[in-house]
Structure 1
Amino acid sequence: MNSKQIKQQSLQSLKGNWGIGALFTFIYFLISSVPTVVVEMVLIPYPEWEETLSYAVINLAIAIILLPFAITFMLAYLTMVRDSKLRIGELFTGFKYFSFFRAIGISILQSIYIFFWTLLLIIPGIIKGMAYSQAVYILRDHPELSVNQAITESRKMMHGHKWRYFVLNLSFIGWAILGIFTLGIGYLWLSSYFLTAHAHFYEDLKTSQAKEKQAIV
């Protein structure tokens, strides 16, 4: 499917799910924002801390701990695409398929790989980022794989499909700009649309490659 078809399917999947999707985004925003806000409030009487290594370490630790929640947010929409209903309990659906620490592991390993490719040039880093984009979905469907194997499988799966993935992401730029003019409120719904489109992209990619394998056999 092309980007237009994927987005049409995404809108169809989101019928009856827009409200819970907006709530998901809001809850995720709170989860990802509250720890940092709390740290900032605690350190208000100690502004000199912001210049210390301890402050940087605390922020890094918070960012790492929050990585699995970003993954569960993604996977909730894959479940919705398959089951047609987005349920509040699915916000933490990722933890049903792999552990909190595996979620951290795959996020960090992807980041390390992309970082080293970016050291060559920005473009190779972007390309590899797209190549590894399906790893989380693959690990969800194949928990028997290691984190590194899931990344490798994503690279193989995305061979010849990176441009299609790039175009899909590019097609949301207009909506992202429009979200700015709504003072960010529009992102409550745009996040659902974006992640549903990504889930449909994975499903389409998985289905088409399964058909190709059957045709070869």
Structure 2
Amino acid sequence: MSDLFTGERRTVVLGEGAAVLAGYAGDRVEALLETVATIAEASPFRHLVTPGGFVMSVAMTNCGRQGWVSDRRGYRYERVDPLTGRDWPAMPELFASLARQAAAELGFDGFAPDACLINRYVAGARLSLHQDRDEASPEAPIVSVSLGAPATFLWGGVARGERVRRIRLGEGDVVVWGGASRMVFHGVAPLHAGERINLTFRRAAA
């Protein structure tokens, strides 16, 4: 397993168009967490149900013009939070600027996310290997920011069954993937302890 230490600024290449920017958001952690709390007051965390009827172990909410949702009807983006009946909270500039800057580090200039998925992990919560396929703009990269407890990020290949790397992510680490790596299978191993918040920035609409 690769170990990345909080506060250490370095780049770990995962593949073409993909890398871990270790410690990249380290100086913004407190402000990011405070902003997450404000967003959750307007659109609370909830455990979504998969199309197969399983309850996700990860709790989530969203901000931005689009929000990712899941239920028995399928995975999709919606402009209105089905829990509150209101638009999702607007994406704060603090979030958007971090996503733009991190994407630009890997050559994805002009990234303009319209959705930020906010996932909350507690001990035992996990995210199975998957591809992000619900976006209408798959040419745009994904930017993922780790806050709170360390976690093991799973990084596979573009086909299911390829070798999976296990990468330790600490608070403030940012993962960016796009281009040839945009459809890589990825996930998060069960969290050992504590609470972790993950911000995942995407361009959902065309």
Return the TM-score normalized by structure 1: 0.31
- Structure 1 or 2: more helix by fraction: 1
